Chain A
Amino acid sequence: SQQGEEDPQALSIQEGENATMNCSYKTSINNLQWYRQNSGRGLVHLILIRSNEREKHSGRLRVTLDTSKKSSSLLITASRAADTASYFCATERTGANSKLTFGKGITLSVRP
């Protein structure tokens, strides 16, 4: 079963605009991670936020985590056509030997 659920399922924006993607999950977690996947390729790690962190930045990426609401958001600022891809949130549940579980993903299209 998939732990995370992303919202919206698809997002289309103009180059230069900001893109906000949301993820909700169900159980207590050690961390939440965001990954990107270009068509037909493997996934690439973008950013990891620990359960005791509330916000993290990496370049044009900003991720927030609200453990009370079991939700996270990923903000991509000043989007580029090259950001067009699928984005997935993944959670690692609390406990030892916990597996990383992915959501269904968000398809982001950035129009030039």
Chain B
Amino acid sequence: DTGVSQDPRHKITKRGQNVTFRCDPISEHNRLYWYRQTLGQGPEFLTYFQNEAQLEKSRLLSDRFSAERPKGSFSTLEIQRTEQGDSAMYLCASFRAGMDTEAFFGQGTRLTVV
């Protein structure tokens, strides 16, 4: 257990529905990342936060994706109008402040869009 928790662990949804995932990072970590991973691939960067500020969002991310980190604590990732291509593992990672720090990953949320 890395101390980063994600909820739910699995989500099956019908195409066109909205889904929301939650990540609770390690409490003293100020950086939080979201990644997406498909089978046989490495984690693909989606977005990241430093405290409550969203510093970067991948250009690959459509407007259907939005993330928040209110008060710099937990974060949510919402996907609107899901498509089958959104099926993937969504990973959250948190980092301590400062240079050269490692990522602590949650177990991920596996999304299946049917």
Residues of A within 8 A of B (CB): 2, 4, 30-31, 33, 35, 40-45, 48, 50, 88, 90, 92, 97, 99-105
A100 and B103: CB pair below 8 A?
yes
Assuming the contacts A33-B102, A48-B100, asked whether A102 and B2 have C-beta atoms less than 8 A apart, the reply is no
A2 and B107: CB pair below 8 A?
no
Assuming the contacts A43-B105, A44-B105, asked whether A103 and B42 have C-beta atoms less than 8 A apart, the reply is yes
Residues of chain A with a CB closer than 8 A to B93's CB: 43, 100
* CA A2 to CA B58, docked complex, whole Å: 12
Residues of B within 8 A of A (CB): 2, 4, 33, 35, 40-45, 48, 50, 55-56, 91, 93, 95, 99-100, 102-108, 110
User: Helix, strand, loop or mixed for chain A's interface?
Assistant: strand
A105 and B50: CB pair below 8 A?
no
B33 and A99: CB pair below 8 A?
yes
